[in-house]
Chain A
Amino acid sequence: MTTKPKLRVGSHLLPGLAAVALFVVIAVAVLRASFGDPQGFPSDGSITASIGYAMFNLDMGSVTGEGFLVAFEIVDVVLVAALAASVLLARRERDGDVVALLADGGRQVHDRVTGDEERRAAERPPESEGGDR
């Protein structure tokens, strides 16, 4: 059986009035401001191709735009950092053992198979240190 989501009306919605008030203020400001007619893009030439050229600082697009090569590289670094951060956050530690095998590169399985488990356990820092518990 499917159920419809219901909006619970109550005092918890009161802070939302600030958002509604903000909408009214901005809407009045926007509608009272005068903008000229939009220029629009030229009908000949591809906008998509121009975006691609602008992204790599190539001056070949039919629509004018700035170069974004530096921003492209910075976003590249930020995406890798976010990937590493999300893996670090999602890693689970319990009783000192790394449960997520992906996060430790399979070290735990390797130790169990080769019998290095005791040696590793002696090297491991005590459980009171670190961890996300």
Chain B
Amino acid sequence: MVPVQWYLLLGTAVFCIGLFGILTRKNALLFLMSVELMLNAANINLVAFSAYWGNVTGQTFSLFTMALAAAEVAVGIGIILVLYRNFDDVDVTLATGMRW
């Protein structure tokens, strides 16, 4: 079997790619993709330790994480639509006020 370290390393890499995207990009759609990468890195860890302990709990929990990610994307897309409608752009640095 593959040692659990390699799964953790993969999860770390995916998480840090997502973090890199969030820190360097301004496009709201790329922000959403980066957040998805970070969430899926957590899923990789859950599944890895599920196999490590021979217990199905981690895999079941990662399914719920995916459902929450879907809900988050639905709200995120709605926010991006409003952002585009009000600023004619999806640049996250434009929206600086709480209301307009």
Contact = CB atoms under 8 A, between A and B. Distances in A.
A55 to B, nearest CB: 6
A71 B67 CA distance: 11
A38 B4 contact: yes
A58 interface: no
Nearest to A76: B67
A71 B63 CA distance: 11
Interface residues of A, number: 49
Nearest to A62: B56
Contacts of A96: none
B1 A55 contact: no
B16 A35 contact: no
A54 to B, nearest CB: 5
Contacts of A54: 56-57, 60
Interface of B: 1-5, 8-9, 12-13, 16-17, 19-20, 23-24, 51-57, 59-61, 63-64, 67-68, 70-72, 74-75, 77-79, 81-82, 85-86, 100
